[in-house]
A = this chain, B = another copy of it.
Amino acid sequence: MYKYGGIQFVKPARRAVVIGGGFIGLETAENLVHLGFEVTLVEMLDQVLAPLDREFARLVEEHLKKHGVRMALGDGVAGFSQLEGGALEVKTQSGRIYPADLVILALGVRPDTALAKAAGLEIGEGGICVDDQMRTSDPDIFAVGDAIEVKDFVTGQWSLIALAGPANRQGRIAADVIAGRESRFRGTQGTSIIGLFSGAAAWTGASEKTLKRIGDTDFEKIYLFPNSHAGYYPGAKMLALKVLFRKSDGRLLGAQALGEDGPAVDKRISALAVALQMGATIYDLEEAELCYAPQFGSAKDAVNFAGMVAADVLRGDMPLAHWADVQDGFLLDVRQPVELVVESVPGAVNIPLGQLRTRLAELPRDREILVICRSAQRAYYATRILLQNGFKARNISGGMLSRALSLA
C-alpha cells in the first residue's frame, strides 16, 4: 500500500523467497518485508541461526513469523524454474513449490582454499590451519579472517567462525608477528548479534549443543526472563536469557539472549562477553555493577539476576529441573487459577503460592516435587518453602515461559 498526495495505490503483492537462515538471510528477509514483499525463508536445517540452541532459535522464528516472514525449515532447495512472464518457482527437496518474483541466495560462506591448497598449506575441516600467531603450515605464509580455522575460546576446538571482529584482530596479530612481536590470538568467543525488527538476538561463548557435541557434561543451564529495564519505567520489554556455566566451579561458559529491545540485548551479551573473556564465574555476575538508571536497566540487572539464579543452584539453595525431566516428578503449579486458563500443564496440581504453607499436607513426601510458575520466581519461593519443610523439591528453570520454548 503506497500513499501519495492522498491517493492510495495498491500494488500487487510481490513474493520473495530467501534461501538461508543465517545472518544475511534473516536481515534480507526483514528488509524485504519492510519493502512490502511476502517473504518465505527456506532453510535446510531445522532452525535459523545455527549457533543458537534450538529452543532459542524457535523464539527467533516466532518473532520473524509475527512480523510476516513465512518459515520453511528443514527443507533444502532442489531447483528453480521460470514461468511465463518471468516469475520464478523454487522447488524444495520435500517437493514443495514456492512461487517468487525474487529469490535471494544467502547460503553462508565457505573458505575458498584453492590457492592455499595449491601452495601446499595444511587445510583442516574446510579452513586453512594456522597457529596462534596466524602462521600457516608454511612459516613464511600467514593467513587471517574467514579463510582460517580459529580456536574456540571456551571449548578449545578448532572451527570455522566467520566474524569481522576476530578477523580484524587476527590481521593485527599477523602484522605484529611479521614485525617481530610476540602477539598471540586467544581464540574467538563467537560473540554475535543480529537485529530483528527492532529487537535482537545475540550470543557469546559455548552453546548447549556445542557442549553436548564435545561430550562435556560439567555444565548447568538456566533460563530467565528479566525486564530490559526497570518495570516501572515505560517501555520495559522482556528479555529471554539462557546462561551456561560450569557445575564444578561456576565459570561462565556461554550466554544467549533475545528480546524486542535490541540495545538491551546488546548490552547484556556484550557485558557477558567481557565476563567470559576474563574468566568470570556466575558469582562474579551476581556482583556485576552495570550502568543503572530506570530507562537503561535495573538495580538488579538481568546480568545480576543470571548470576543469582545460577549461584542459587550451585550453592544448593535452589535445586533446578528442566522440562525434559518432568516425566518422573510430581508437578506443582503455584500460579493463580486464572493463569491456568492461559496455559497449564496436564497432570500438574495447582496450589497458589499464597496458600502453599497451609496446604502442605496435600503434597507427597516420597516423591520429588517439580515446581512451576510463569517465570520461576514464585516457584523459587515455593521451592524454598518446600525444602524448609522437609520435602524434596526442584524449581523448573524459566517456568511456563521456558516450557513454551521446549515445546515450540
Q: Using CB atoms and an 8 Å cutoff, list the residues of chain A in contact with chain B.
A: 23, 163-169, 186, 188-189, 191-195, 200, 202, 204, 262-267, 269-275, 277-280, 284, 286-293, 295-297, 299-301, 304
What are 6 A-B interface contacts by the 8 Å CB criterion? A165-B300, A204-B291, A262-B295, A267-B267, A274-B288, A278-B279
Given contacts A272-B274, A274-B290, 13 further A-B contacts (CB under 8 A): A165-B292, A165-B299, A165-B304, A192-B292, A193-B296, A204-B289, A262-B296, A263-B267, A266-B291, A269-B291, A274-B278, A277-B288, A278-B278
Q: Are B189 and A289 in contact (CB under 8 A)?
A: yes
User: Which of B263, B273, B290, B291 meets A289, CB within 8 Å?
Assistant: B273
Output the least CB separation between A310 and chain B (Å): 15
- Residues of chain B within 8 A (CB-CB) of A202 are 291
Q: Are B186 and A287 in contact (CB under 8 A)?
A: yes
Instruction: Name the residue on B nearest A294 (C-beta).
Output: B195
Output the least CB separation between A229 and chain B (Å): 10
Given contacts A288-B273, A288-B277, contact A167 B263 (CB under 8 A): no
Q: Are A163 and B292 in contact (CB under 8 A)?
A: yes
- Residues of chain B within 8 A (CB-CB) of A287 are 169, 186, 277
Given contacts A270-B267, A270-B270, A270-B290, contact A295 B165 (CB under 8 A): no
- Residues of chain B within 8 A (CB-CB) of A267 are 263, 266-267, 270
Output the least CB separation between A149 and chain B (Å): 17
Bound: A274/B287 CA distance, A: 10
Output the least CB separation between A31 and chain B (Å): 12
- Residues of chain B within 8 A (CB-CB) of A286 are 169
Given contacts A262-B296, A267-B266, contact A289 B191 (CB under 8 A): yes
- Residues of chain B within 8 A (CB-CB) of A288 are 273-274, 277
- Residues of chain B within 8 A (CB-CB) of A192 are 291-293
User: Which of B163, B189, B275, B292 meets A278, CB within 8 Å?
Assistant: B275
Output the least CB separation between A302 and chain B (Å): 11
Bound: A279/B277 CA distance, A: 12
Given contacts A271-B274, A287-B186, A290-B274, contact A300 B168 (CB under 8 A): yes
Q: Are B195 and A293 in contact (CB under 8 A)?
A: yes
Output the least CB separation between A357 and chain B (Å): 20
Given contacts A263-B267, A270-B267, contact A289 B193 (CB under 8 A): no
Output the least CB separation between A294 and chain B (Å): 9
Output the least CB separation between A262 and chain B (Å): 7
- Residues of chain B within 8 A (CB-CB) of A164 are 292, 299
Bound: A265/B266 CA distance, A: 12
Output the least CB separation between A257 and chain B (Å): 10
Output the least CB separation between A21 and chain B (Å): 16
Q: Are B291 and A191 in contact (CB under 8 A)?
A: yes
Bound: A400/B264 CA distance, A: 33
Give the residue among A200, A264, A292, A301 with the most B Cβ atoms within 10 A.
A292
Bound: A286/B168 CA distance, A: 11
User: Which of B193, B200, B264, B274 meets A274, CB within 8 Å?
Assistant: B274
Q: Are A289 and B195 in contact (CB under 8 A)?
A: no
Bound: A164/B301 CA distance, A: 11
- Residues of chain B within 8 A (CB-CB) of A277 are 280, 284, 287-289
Q: Are A270 and B271 in contact (CB under 8 A)?
A: yes
Output the least CB separation between A178 and chain B (Å): 15
Bound: A26/B14 CA distance, A: 50
